Amino acid sequence: MEKDIYILGIESSCDETACAVVRNGREILSNIIASQADFHERFGGVVPEIASRMHVDAVYPTVRDALDKAGLSIDEIDAVAVTYGPGLVGALLVGLSCAKGIAYSSNKPLVGVNHMHGHIAANYLCHKDLEPPFLCLSVSGGHSEIVYVKDYSDMEILGSTRDDAAGEAIDKIARVIGLGYPGGPKMDKAGQSGDINAYKFSHTHMKDSLDFSFSGIKTSALNQLNELKMRGEVPVLSDFAASYQHHIASELVRNVVLAVKMTGIRKVCLAGGVSANSFLRKMVDETSQKEKFDVYYPDLKLCTDNGAMIASAGYFEYIRGVRHGIDLNAVPSLSL
Ligand code: KG4
Ligand code: ZN
């Protein structure tokens, strides 16, 4: 029998300090997340300097908790995986410095992980038999992409946003309608009993392309809110939230269907924070039945940033021999 491989995964690219231990890339032994969201809420978004400082306080206790919960010592870990981009540079540097320190002092290999590979890998933790190739709709606060996942480390972007990410477009409007930060989960909740057809927004479709554009949709939402305000009216919150999310979901799903038709690949995963969205999940489910493709989501807790997804992606890099030196630097705009 082959020896089990244990990866410690560290994530600090935005406002979650997270660390996990994962066995053989698929089984979570611990997954500790220290979220800073409450501290950023009063500023309406992530303040990079505050994020970096809070990561410094949280990173070592988070690592210790992850090892304790897994019941392992650092000596029993095979490699330390860490997000080195994309993300906020100061925030990334904290997790990276911690990972380098642990790897160096305990003489373990260091494996740098692309955060977006991590989001995709969250699916391997939830679907034990899932293997590439598949298509992945990767939608988060900073990214909206349709990715052709050819192999665990070999991916091609088939379409991406030309302006705002889907999560950014949701967070911005959530803030304007008074829901606060982080807007995605709050908007999701607010829209639950709403009418998806109550408000209409503009469409932006690129001809012969799987690219997205969300800034026009965001502007059309802002214009409607302004017009209502000028008339002394307020939107029906649940209807506005439901219609807006339904509209964004339909833009995303439209390109997923196109990608399935273009590639002939009938296996589709969702990844990233926005893949937790109930409007998107419902539409993807309905569409997958109609268009006959299989769909996979990460569990809700694994959609947003976490250490387990980094440990899983790190495992697949580790087994193909990827090792990084102590000179590994943060790459804030690292591409897929
Ligand atoms: O993947 P993630 O945790 O961080 C990035 O890598 O960006 O994604 C965060 C984004 C935020 O825009 C957040 O509002 C959004 O995911 N999000 C959601 C939901 N949960 C998180 N958006 C819509 N509905 C949700 N339920
Ligand atoms: Zn993320």
Please write the tens of the pLDDT for every residue from 85-101. 999 999 999 999 999 99
- For residues 64-76, give the mean pLDDT: 98
Closest approach atom of ligand 1 to CA 272: 1
Residue 225: the pLDDT is 97
Does residue 328 lie within any of the structural domains? Answer: no
Query: Where would I find the H helices in 48-159?
Result: 48-70, 89-106, 115-126
Q: Is residue 126 part of a domain?
A: no
Confidence of residue 205 (pLDDT cuts 50, 70, 90): confident
Residue 94: partners with Cβ closer than 8 Å, 6 or more residues away: 12, 17, 52, 55, 56, 59
Compute the distance between CA of residue 9 and CA of residue 16 in angstroms, rounded to an integer: 13
Percent of residues, the chain, with pLDDT higher than 90: 92
Q: Which ligand is nearest to the CA of 167?
A: 1
Residues 70 and 213 in one domain: no
Atom of ligand 1 nearest to the CA of 304: 3
Q: Quick one: 85 and 185 in the same domain?
A: no
Lowest mean pLDDT among 198-212, 220-234, 296-310: 198-212
Q: Are residues 33 and 74 in the same domain?
A: yes
Together in a domain, 111 and 239: no
Same domain, 247 and 283: yes
Q: Is residue 330 part of a domain?
A: no
* pLDDT per position as a tens digit, 1-23: 689 999 999 999 999 999 999 99
Same structural domain, 114 and 227 = no
Indicate the helix (H) or strand (E) that contains 165. Answer: none
**Which of 274, 303, 306, 334 gets mutated to test ligand 1 (max ligand atoms within 8 A of its CB)?**
274
Residues 20 and 162 grouped into a single domain: no
Rounded to whole angstroms, the Cα distance separating 218 from 183 reads 14
CA-based nearest residue to 269, from 137, 128, 115: 137
For position 224, which CATH number holds?
A: 3.30.420.40
pLDDT confidence band for 30 (50 / 70 / 90): very high
The pLDDT tens digits of the residues spanning 143-197 come to 999 999 999 999 999 999 999 999 999 999 999 999 988 899 999 999 999 999 9
Return the number of other C-beta atoms located less than 10 Å from residue 196's C-beta: 19
Residue 245 lies in a domain: yes
What confidence score (pLDDT) does residue 80 get?
Answer: 98
| Residue-level pLDDT at 203 | 85
Q: What is the pLDDT of residue 38?
A: 85
Query: Using CA positions, which residue lies closest to atom 8 of ligand 1?
Result: 273
**Arithmetic mean of pLDDT, 29-50:** 90
Residues 86 and 203 in one domain: no
Q: Is the pLDDT of residue 37 over 90?
A: no
Instruction: Say how far apart CA 264 and CA 278 lie, in whole Å.
Output: 26
pLDDT value of position 42: 83
Q: How far is the CA of 276 from the centre of ligand 1 (A)?
A: 7
Residue 84 lies in a domain: yes
Q: Does residue 127 sit within a domain?
A: no
Q: Are residues 137 and 157 in the same domain?
A: yes
The count of structural domains within the chain is 2
In the predicted model, what is the mean pLDDT of the chain? 96
* Selection from 277, 267, 68, 15 nearest residue 150 by Cα: 267
**Measured between alpha carbons, how far is residue 241 from residues 74, 117, 203 in Å?**
46, 30, 17
> Do both 294 and 308 map to the same domain?
no
How many A from CA of 40 to the centre of ligand 1?
A: 15
**pLDDT class of 204 with cuts at 50, 70, 90:** confident
List the residue whose alpha carbon is closest to atom 7 of ligand 1: 141
Alpha carbon nearest to ligand 1 atom 21, residue: 273
Token pair in block for residue 38? 């409450």
Q: Determine the pLDDT at residue 110.
A: 98
Average pLDDT over every residue of 208-225: 96
Letter for the amino acid at 119?
H
Q: Which two tokens mark 334? A: 């690292």
Q: How many CB atoms lie within 10 A of CB 229?
A: 11
State the average pLDDT over residues 109-127: 98
Distance 143 CA to ligand 2 centre (A): 9
* Ligand 1 pocket at CB < 6 A: 14, 119, 140-142, 167, 170-171, 182-185, 188, 272-274, 276-277, 304-305
Could you report the per-residue pLDDT of 284-317, keeping only the tens digit for each?
A: 999 999 999 999 999 999 999 999 999 999 999 9
Task: Tell me what pLDDT residue 208 has.
Answer: 87
As beta bridge partners, residue 138 has 145, 271
3-state SS assignment for residue 11: strand
What is the 273 CA–ligand 2 centroid distance (Å)?
A: 6
Asked if the model's pLDDT at residue 123 lies above 80, the reply is yes
Supply the range of the domain harboring residue 149: 132-299
Judge if 136 and 273 occupy the same domain.
Answer: yes
Indicate yes or no: pTM above 0.85: yes
183 Cα nearest atom in ligand 1: 14
Domain for residue 335, yes or no? no
* Cα atoms in the Cβ-side hemisphere of radius 13 Å centred on 67: 17
Given strand 134-139, what is the order of strands in its sheet?
155-160, 144-149, 134-139, 267-271, 294-296
Q: Are 72 and 208 in contact (CB under 8 A)?
A: no
- Complete DSSP assignment for 276-290: G-HHHHHHHHHHHHH
- Are 290 and 308 contained in the same domain? no
- As a whole number, mean pLDDT of residues 204-233 equals 94
Residue 325 falls inside a structural domain: no
Distance 168 CA to ligand 1 centre (A): 8
